[in-house]
């Protein structure tokens, strides 16, 4: 739960918190605090990061990251001019899992490009730092980069195509023997109704790695760098999604190399609690 307070035109603060519960663990109270500045063509915010995906494709950032690391703090902002848009962020990821000796993890990046009603083309630079000044080992830090471009084309109201050409760079090969890699994706989405959509996709990766991306597309397991290594990953994907107050997504990926299908099912239920003043708002006015 959170509440926004407007204390000047274009300036606001948000205060609140939520409870994070993992199976087998004690619940944690996570604070939410955010200061935001809004201009007609730019916004800037400091504190709790609202959009964890930053508009990145799932190959670069896992949508489920919000559940594993429920809150991050940092700086984010965006700017627009006519059809040109840009978004930037720097956030501190505090949670280090799997017995890692590293004490801090920083994630930052920028996306920029052209966006119109039927076409969107963006370039991306994503930076991931592990280690830092509070690390106890002088040689355990490292920097990794993901960069490239992705695009979306709308073909009428029912069809859309997405494509991405992405690259990985670990200049010092600090985290694996591979210092570079690349990945290519093509996706088609058919929106059959307002809530029901189907998609088909193709992924071709070679030594591709993205520290925060979905593990399915990585050449090395991001949770166990010394585990399996699949230099080439070529997969066909298919999925159905029902989106609303309750969202159900069914996906499957067919690995063209080992001839196996990897399915996944996700169900999410949203419950929205309006503030007390919502009963007095005008019809159609969204609550804060």
Q: What is the pLDDT of residue 278?
A: 46
Q: Is residue 159 part of a domain?
A: yes
Q: What is the pLDDT of residue 282?
A: 43
Report whether 255 contacts 233 (CB < 8 A): yes
Q: Is residue 91 part of a domain?
A: no
State the residue for tokens 């700086």. 75
Q: Is residue 212 part of a domain?
A: yes
Residue 56's domain comprises 52-73+97-280
Q: What is the pLDDT of residue 46?
A: 96
Q: Is residue 10 part of a domain?
A: no
Q: What is the pLDDT of residue 136?
A: 46
Q: Is residue 1 part of a domain?
A: no
Q: What is the DSSP letter of 282?
A: P
Tell me the β-bridge partners of 18: 30
Report whether 30 contacts 48 (CB < 8 A): no
Q: Is residue 160 part of a domain?
A: yes
- pLDDT tens column, 181-220: 999 999 999 999 989 999 999 999 999 999 888 888 989 8
Q: How many domains does the chain have?
A: 1
Q: What ranges make up the beta strands (E) of the chain?
A: 2-8, 11-20, 28-38, 42-48, 73-81, 84-93, 105-115, 119-130, 142-155, 159-169, 180-191, 196-206, 232-242, 246-255, 260-269
Q: Is residue 126 part of a domain?
A: yes
What CATH number corresponds to the domain at position 60? 2.40.160
Element (H, E) at 256: none
Q: Is residue 66 part of a domain?
A: yes
Q: Strands 142-155 and 159-169: what pairing? A: antiparallel
Q: What is the pLDDT of residue 66?
A: 78
Grade residue 225 by pLDDT with cuts at 50, 70 and 90: low
């Amino acid at each position: 739960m959170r509440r926004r307070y407007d204390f000047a035109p274009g300036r606001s603060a948000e205060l609140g918190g939520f409870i994070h519960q993992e199976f087998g663990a004690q619940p944690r109270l996570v604070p939410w605090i955010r200061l935001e500045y809004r201009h007609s063509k730019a916004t800037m915010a400091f504190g709790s990061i609202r959009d964890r995906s930053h508009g990145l494709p799932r190959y670069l950032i896992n949508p489920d990251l919000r559940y594993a690391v429920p809150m991050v703090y940092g700086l984010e902002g965006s700017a627009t001019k006519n059809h040109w848009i840009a978004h930037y962020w720097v956030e501190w990821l505090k949670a280090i899992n799997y017995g890692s000796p590293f004490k801090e993890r920083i994630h930052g990046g920028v996306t920029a490009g052209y966006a119109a009603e039927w076409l969107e083309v963006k370039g991306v630079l994503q930076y991931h730092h592990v280690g830092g000044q509070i690390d106890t080992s002088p040689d355990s830090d490292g920097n990794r980069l993901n960069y490239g471009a992705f695009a979306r084309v709308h073909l009428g109201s029912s069809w859309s195509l997405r494509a991405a050409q992405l690259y990985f760079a670990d200049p010092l090969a600090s985290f694996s023997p591979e210092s570079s890699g690349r990945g290519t994706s093509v996706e088609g989405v058919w929106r059959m109704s307002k809530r029901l959509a189907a998609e088909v996709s193709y992924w071709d990766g070679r030594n591709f790695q993205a520290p925060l991306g979905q593990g399915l597309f990585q050449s090395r397991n991001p949770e166990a760098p010394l585990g399996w290594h699949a230099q080439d990953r070529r997969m066909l994907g298919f999925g159905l999604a029902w989106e609303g107050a309750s969202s159900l997504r069914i996906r499957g990926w067919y690995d063209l190399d080992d001839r196996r299908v990897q399915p996944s099912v996700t169900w999410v239920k949203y419950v929205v609690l309006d503030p007390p003043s919502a009963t007095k708002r005008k019809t159609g006015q969204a609550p804060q």
